[in-house]
Structures are given as C-alpha cells and as structure tokens.
Homo-oligomer: A and B are copies of this chain.
Amino acid sequence: MYKRSLRKPDGRQLHLYGFQPISEDIVAPSPSRTARQPTSHLRWHPLRGEWVIYAMHRQNRTFLPPAQYNPLAPGNDPARPTELPVGSWDVAVFDNLYPALSASAHPPPVINVQTRPGLGACEVVVFAQDAGASLGGLPVVHIALLLEVWADRYRELGAREDVQYVFPFENRGAAVGATLHHPHGQIYAYPFVPPIPARELKMQRRHLAVHGRGLLETRIDDEVREGNRLLHVDERAIAFIPVCARYAYEVWVAPRRGAASLAALEREERESFARALKTVLLKLDGLWEEPMPYVLVLHQAPTDGLPHPEAHAHIQIYPALRMAGRLKSLAGSELGAGVFTADTSPEEKAAELRAVKVTID
C-alpha cells in the first residue's frame, strides 16, 4: 500500500492510498477555502450516563446534492472544486468539512451538567473513485486495501492523546440517512470509549475471565459447528447471522482469531476478511436484487492506553429492511426500553442469505 498525506487549502488533511505510488504532483483541492472553526462540545447525559455530542454547525450540511455535483468525485475544475484530486489513488481519507469532533474544538459552555470540548476527529473515507461503485462490488483486493486503510487510521488516530476509540462505519442508502451516494464511509475518533463498545468489552472481559477463551471466539466455534447461520467461512475469517441477531438480516464478519484490531491482522487474514465481507454484502444486495440500505460498524480495541486482551475486531452490519420494501422502525421498545423485537428468526434469514449465489473476484 502506498500513501501520501496532503493539506487542503482550508487546513484539513487529505490522505491518498493506492496500489501504485501516488504522484508527487497532486495538490489537495477543497470546496471550502477558509479554515473552519468547529464549535462542537459534549454534554453528559446524567440519566443515561453517556456523552451527547452537540455540533451546531452541522445542521446545514450538504444534503443530497444534484448528481452533477458530487463533492467526493475526483475533480480538476478550479471553478467547482471537489474534495478529491484526479490521480492514481484507490482509497482516500480526509477531514470531514462538518466534523462532530475535531482537534481544534473550543472550550465548552458552562451549564448545569458536565461538559467537555468536542475533541477527536471525523474523517470521510472514500472507498473508490467510481461514484457508481459499491463497497461489496469492489474486487477483494480493493476491499483488502480498504481494511489496510482502516488499520492505518486506527494506528494514526489512536496514537493521538485526545482519542480513546477509533470507529469506522458506513451509512449506506438514503434509508439510513446517507446524504451522498458516492461509496464512502466515515471514521469517528472519540475522546472516550463509547457506551456500546464499552458494554461489549465488559461482557468480553467477563467471558474471558470465566472461560479462558474470547467470547467471540467461543461464538465462532459454535457457528462453525452448527453451520445453519454461516454465510462464509475459511481458515482465517467468518461471516454469519448471529444467533442473537437484533435486525432481521444482521451479519457479523470477523477474523477467526481474536485479533484486537485490523492493525493486528496479517495480509492473508485481511484477504480472507475482505472475501467474507464482500460475500455478505453481495448476498444482501442480491437478496431482492436491489442495494440493501445498511449501517456497517467496526468494533476494535480502544486506544485508551490500557491492555485489551478481551477485544476481538469484528464488523456488525445492520440492514435497514426486515422484508423487501419494509423498513424496520426503531420505536418504543427499542429506543425507550432498549429491547429489540425481531419478527423473524436468525435461522430462517440465514437460510435466505445462504441461498443467494454470488461471484467473488
């Protein structure tokens, strides 16, 4: 993997990654000329015991612009600059123009709950130059490159003093609020360990202490043995609908060994992981022969300076549909009680996805 880091005219960082060396001639463009003044802050939610991010400058961010203006397309027109240069890059990462978290956050307001500045980072990860591509449609080697990029971001952001958790995700499709169609994801680098990973790590620590084996490794053993929820498996990676799926077509993708982060994967593990990920994304799109809207998240070890032998990097995919054309709405039970109600069984849904034939290249 080749990498070049550049600075945009407004001060934001741009990192270009590729299979080939990145030309020295490339200059970083930007639709914005002036340096931004991010003003976000965090407030403590005393009843839920969690941080909430207030980023007031985000309200008017780019919203489904017409097809003729795609800020993620490589562009060379100085009259209509985009975020990305023309050139031989394959994956690009840059600081979000509207960051919820940033290294330059202002002091927070003084109010009657605890506050702190919105430190951290929000990056945009452009998966490919082709605006019509999709993550699952990319070649395995290209997805493996993306995994390497995520690993690079994990190392670089995780090394920062103000970052305790590096969180890559993809919101895919208008149904989950994606405002741009060009295939891309985001990375939030939080100044704390967020509640959902924190809870999972706690459960993983307990399991490891009691059983002497990782929780996810134990789950993977079970999935391989039972087989009826398996979507893909080889010696190094696995994809399956978990026995406790909260969304009808929820899928987890993981290395079989308990690697704490993508940065801990060997090349062959990355390739297997990429193949597993591609397989399930194509199955989800093939199910009803239309792009499945989903939220995809990557859980890894925190970068809080503590040891995390319990961590086991994995992707969770939450498809937004529970049947063709029918969204799963999160409502009273899910949002107000924290209890998911599934209308479907993980075994039935796995059988459906297992039956979808896909071609992997």
Contact = CB atoms under 8 A, between A and B. Distances in A.
Nearest to A333: B188
A295 B330 CA distance: 9
Residue picked from A55, A199, A337, most chain B C-beta under 10 Å: A337
Which secondary structure characterizes the binding site on chain A? Answer: mixed
Interface string A227-263: 0000000000000001111100000000000000000
Contact of A222 (B112, B176, B178): B112
B244 A335 contact: no
Interface stretch (A40-48, A66-74, A139-147, A149-157): A40-48
A111 interface: yes
A244 B186 CA distance: 25
A333 B329 CA distance: 17
A247 to B, nearest CB: 9
Copies of this chain per assembly: 2
Interface string A317-355: 010001100111111110111111111110010000000
Contacts of A246: 45, 52
Contacts of A188: 332-333, 337, 339
A169 interface: yes
A339 B202 contact: no
A105 B222 CA distance: 27
A177 B226 CA distance: 35
Contact of A203 (B47, B53, B216): B47
Interface in A94-114: 100, 111-113
Interface stretch (A14-22, A190-198, A276-284): A190-198
A273 interface: no
A338 B204 CA distance: 18
Nearest to A194: B337
A50 interface: yes
A213 interface: no
A244 B45 contact: yes
B177 A331 contact: yes
A49 B112 contact: no
A243 B112 contact: yes
A49 B335 contact: no
A95 to B, nearest CB: 16
A337 B202 contact: no
A219 interface: yes
A169 B329 CA distance: 14
A178 B331 CA distance: 9
13 contacts: A47-B204, A47-B216, A52-B341, A55-B341, A59-B344, A63-B326, A165-B337, A171-B329, A177-B331, A186-B332, A196-B336, A295-B335, A299-B336
Given A48-B203, A177-B331, 15 more contacts: A46-B207, A47-B203, A48-B196, A48-B244, A51-B339, A53-B340, A53-B342, A55-B343, A58-B341, A113-B244, A169-B333, A196-B337, A197-B337, A297-B336, A318-B335
